[in-house]
């Protein structure tokens, strides 16, 4: 199974992004647009995992303790080399700490951290391979004002399985790991 770990978005932020994307799609419709149900903030991409590694992951991730924290989306941006259009996420000490704890928990299961610096974002669209970034440049030229997004509190992180298909990836939540409220109890706990 192909796995990654991420923070889900609040319903209000999904609604804000969902309202924004059709206007942007009109400026560059030939991109592969991500479905709203796939939007998340990736903490770590793991890749393929055997059942043994999956069992190790769920056990180790269950030992991660972190407080819930405020998430604020920032500007719309582009990774030109990767052909990705995204909504940036503010890099807070709490988000960095959670990402580092997650990476630390996965290492004993045989997963390595990425060499690239952590850049939290939400992938909204990708250019098609034969496009060579033309549609992304067209979209970039058409964005004249940056939107303002509602902040939300991250209450959990998720272990996702990615199912690849010609129509795009579909994500299945395999496990949920609650973060703690200000009293140190898991969100949703009693």
Cβ density class 171-188: b for 16+ within 10 Å, e for less: beeebebbbeeeeeeeee
CB 80 within 8 A of CB 133: yes
The encoded tokens of residue 165 equal 């298909």
Residue 152, SS3 per DSSP: strand
pTM, two decimals, is 0.91
Q: Among candidates 84, 85, 87, which has minimal Cα distance to 17? A: 87
Q: Name the strand (E) or helix (H) holding 18.
A: helix 11-27
Give bridge partners of residue 125 from the DSSP assignment: 33, 85
Mean pLDDT of the chain: 90
pLDDT in tens, 23-41: 888 877 688 899 999 999 9
Considering 8-12, 80-84, 113-117, 165-169, the range whose residues carry the highest mean pLDDT is 8-12
Domains in the chain, please, with CATH? Answer: 2-178 (3.90.1140.10)
Q: For tokens 């790991």, what's the residue?
A: 177
pLDDT in tens, 43-98: 999 999 998 999 999 999 999 999 999 999 999 999 988 889 999 999 999 999 99
Q: Is the dihedral of CA 53, 55, 93, 81 positive or negative?
A: positive
CA–CA distances in Å: residue 161 to residues 69, 111, 135, 140, 174: 24, 15, 29, 31, 6
């Amino acid at each position: 199974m192909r796995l990654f770990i991420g923070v889900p978005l609040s319903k209000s932020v999904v609604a804000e992004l969902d309202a924004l994307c059709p206007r942007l799609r009109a400026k560059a419709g030939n991109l592969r647009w991500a479905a709203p149900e796939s939007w998340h903030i990736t903490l770590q991409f793991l890749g393929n995992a055997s059942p043994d590694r999956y069992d190790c992951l769920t056990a180790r991730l269950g030992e991660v303790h972190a407080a819930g924290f405020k998430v604020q989306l920032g500007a719309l941006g582009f990774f030109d080399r990767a052909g990705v259009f995204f909504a940036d996420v503010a890099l807070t000490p709490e988000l960095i700490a959670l990402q580092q704890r997650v990476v630390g928990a996965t290492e004993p299961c045989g997963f390595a951290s990425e060499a690239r610096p952590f850049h939290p974002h939400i992938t909204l669209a990708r250019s098609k391979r034969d496009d060579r970034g033309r549609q992304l440049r067209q979209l970039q030229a058409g964005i004249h004002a940056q939107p303002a997004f509602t902040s939300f509190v991250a209450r959990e992180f998720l272990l996702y399985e990615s199912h690849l298909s010609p129509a795009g990836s579909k994500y299945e939540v395999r496990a949920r790991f609650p973060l703690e409220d200000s009293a140190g109890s898991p969100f949703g706990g009693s």
